[in-house]
Structure formats: structure tokens, C-alpha cells
Amino acid sequence: MSLLDKFQPYADVRDELARATVAPVATPIDRVLSATRGEIAGREVLLAGTNNYLGLTFDPGVIAAARDALESQGTGTTGSRMANGSYADHRALEHELITAFGARAAIVFSTGYQANLGTISALAGSGDHLLIDADCHASIYDGCRLSAADTLRFRHNDAASLDRRLARLGAEAARTLVVVEGLYSMLGDRTPLADIVEVTRRHGAWLLVDEAHSFGVYGERGLGVAEHDGLLEQVDFVVGTFSKSLAGIGGFCVSRHEALDVARMASRPYVFTASPSPSAIAATRAALARVLDGAALRAQLWRNAERLYAGLDALGYRLGAPEPGPVAALIMRDRASATELWQQLLDAGIYTNLMLPPATPGGESLLRISVSAAHQDGDIDAILAAFPAHADARRSAAS
């Protein structure tokens, strides 16, 4: 056996997918024309798979803030926050996040992936326990691997399963961090947060909610599912990303516990990674202001989400979530049918996300659509019109 032989199954999948006219995984988008339009293989397409939930990637104020920072502070920091990479704007963004959440501490990370990696591995160490929802994102799993804590899973969105796990831990629950997501990015389903909070609090455990895909979307000010459900003060740690509603790159953790500020010194991904560039931070600060004052954007996003969900349901597709949301995931029969539908949509000028095992929960093959506040009524109509007619047969086959 060679060191590299383990990559052969990945190469086989890559070669199979490469036979398509356009690669359905890691699809090259040749040009981005706007928040909703791009060019793929020389054709203009409607972008319906970007996680650009509030459409802020082309917001004039966000672009201007990034440009000003680029010209005044240069292209990068060339160092970590623990060395030379802690600029005034990094600290200002942390303060703005603290104010927005009514928190007592905040840490800004260089990516959303790193926010989970750095937070989880710092909070839970040897002798501690991590209890995570089975459908959690890869960054959460990798944060658990980096941690020296014992890691257990509970059934997806099942508070009773979490209850049983914590009961078995007994007094050790006080040294346990429970991790869930506000909105699960693959299927687009929401966590039953009130039930999770009740169980976690009753056992004396700690709770972290990853609001990566729910930040900007849920809640009066867009702070996520915890705000939407009136439970923000019951959550110990909130993790989020700048790469969805905030239209940039980076991540954060906020907490009502001041000790989080000290935890950054124990977070290896934070300590040993160069800090975000000045332009990324400036753009995020401008986007954050738009999110907090973004009721109109959220209203438009939800109109789009509800119309899309109702249309897909009427066409007979099997959807991954029981209610509308910014992510609409179609559960397909197998990889071949998912790939075929993805190609049909692209041929009709609609770009979506093809999600295949092992990156998907339960080994499902998915066709994933994410809507944006920047989409207009005609865009949603165009997406729905692009779906093939006999969807009932597809749903029966997938069931």
C-alpha cells in the first residue's frame, strides 16, 4: 500500500463527475456579475446556491468600507492577533458584536470554520465532555477532534436523546459542552432550541449554538435562532461566520461569560493564524450594521423562501425541512438522479448546489438551493419554472 492509495476512491468520484459538461462539484464560476447573476461556461446564470442570504456582497456601503481599508491599511496584517495582527478595527468589531448580542466577551476569527475549531478546542479539554448533534458541520467535528475532550453524539434534533446522554454523565454534565446549530445547512432544518436549552440547563451543562446559517436571517435584529426563540440569554456561546449573511470571510464567538476573552489565549487556531485582513474586517463591520438594521431585507428574504418552498412542495419534491427557510434541500433518490437534475437546472440557466455523500447527513444525495433577499419575484419564478415537470415520480422514488 502506498501513502497515496487512500485517495483513489475520491479520484474515482472526481473522474465520474468530470465527465459532465460543467463540473457539478467545485463548479468554476467564471465571473460574478451581481449578488444574483454570474457566468458559468460562457453563459449567464441565475445564482441560487451562494448562501448570500441578505445579498450584501455588492452592497455599495460594504464595498466602500473594504476599499477604504485596503487603501489606508494595506492588504493584510502578516501576523496573528497574539503578535502584530491585532488592529483597532479587529477590536472595534469585537466590541460591536458584544453590543449587538448583549454579551460580555467576543472573539473574531479568520474564518467561520476556524471559529468552531478554535472555540470548541479551547473550551473543552482533558476530562471534559462534548455532546454534539449528529448532523453538526464538519468544522464542529474537527473542533472536537482537536480537543482532548471525550466526544459523544446525540440523535439529530432529538432533545430526548440528549437528555439520556447527559443523564448517563451524571455529575460530569457540569463539565460538558453541548453543541448544536441554529439552522442545519444541508437539509435547512432548525434546531428545537427551547427543548435543547431545557435539557441542557436541567443537567447543568453548557450550550454552544452555531448560528452560521441563521445569523442575519432569524430574529428581530438578525442575531439568529436563539434571538428568534427568545433564548439568547440561555445560550452560553454563540458562534457565527462572516461568509453568509455578512457577505465576507471570517468568524466569531460571543458569550455572556467574560472568561471567553481569556480562552483566546488557549485557542491554537486563534493564536497561530494570521488575523483577518483590514478590508475583510471593514466590510464585515459595514455589513453588520446593515444586518442589525435589516428588517426590510429579512422580510424580502422570507417572502422569497416561502414562495420557493411552496412551489417546490407543489411540484412534488421531497424537502429536507418541514417548514420554509433560506435553504431548500431536495432529497433525491441517488447520486445519479441528483446529478442529472443539477445539470438540467444549469442547462436552464439556474446554478444550485449538488451535495453528495459523504458530506451529507444520512448519506443522502441532495440538490440544495439557497435564496437571497436580492432575488426578485421573477427570479423565484424562473427557478421554479426550470424544474422538470414530473416531480411526483421523483418524490415517490426518493421516499
User: Which CATH number does 12-47+295-398 carry?
Assistant: 3.90.1150.10
How would you label 58-69 residue by residue, b for 16+ Cβ within 10 Å and e otherwise?
ebeebbebbeeb
Question: What b/e readout covers 367-387, taking b as 16+ CB neighbours within 10 angstroms?
Answer: bbbbbbbbbeeebbebbbebb
> Are 370 and 53 spatial neighbours (Cβ–Cβ below 8 Å)?
yes
- 60-292 folds as Aspartate Aminotransferase; domain 2 (3.40.640)
CA distance linking residue 226 with residue 194, whole number of Å:
9
pLDDT of res. 256: 97
Contact 254, 105 (CB under 8 A): yes
| Model pLDDT, residue 389 | 63
| Per-residue pLDDT tens digits of the chain, which is 399 residues long | 799 999 998 888 778 777 777 887 778 999 999 999 999 999 999 999 999 999 999 999 999 999 999 999 999 999 999 999 999 999 999 999 999 999 999 999 999 999 999 999 999 999 999 999 999 999 999 999 999 999 999 999 999 999 999 999 999 999 999 999 999 999 999 999 999 999 999 999 999 999 999 999 999 999 999 999 999 999 999 999 999 999 999 999 999 999 999 999 999 999 999 999 999 999 999 999 999 999 999 999 999 999 999 999 999 999 999 999 999 999 999 988 999 999 999 999 999 999 988 888 888 999 999 999 999 999 999 999 999 865 554 554 455
Residue 371 to residue 55: CA distance in whole angstroms: 9
Give the SS3 label for residue 32: strand
Nine-digit cell at 283?
466590510
- Grouping H, G, I as helix, E, B as strand and the rest as coil, residue 375 is coil
Do residues 37 and 44 make contact, with C-beta atoms less than 8 angstroms apart? Answer: yes
Domains 12-47+295-398 and 60-292 share a fold: no
Return the domain boundaries, the chain: 12-47+295-398, 60-292
Nine-digit cell string for 19: 465527465
Burial of 129 per CB tally in 10 Å (0-12, 13-18, 19+): buried
Strand pairing partners for 115? none
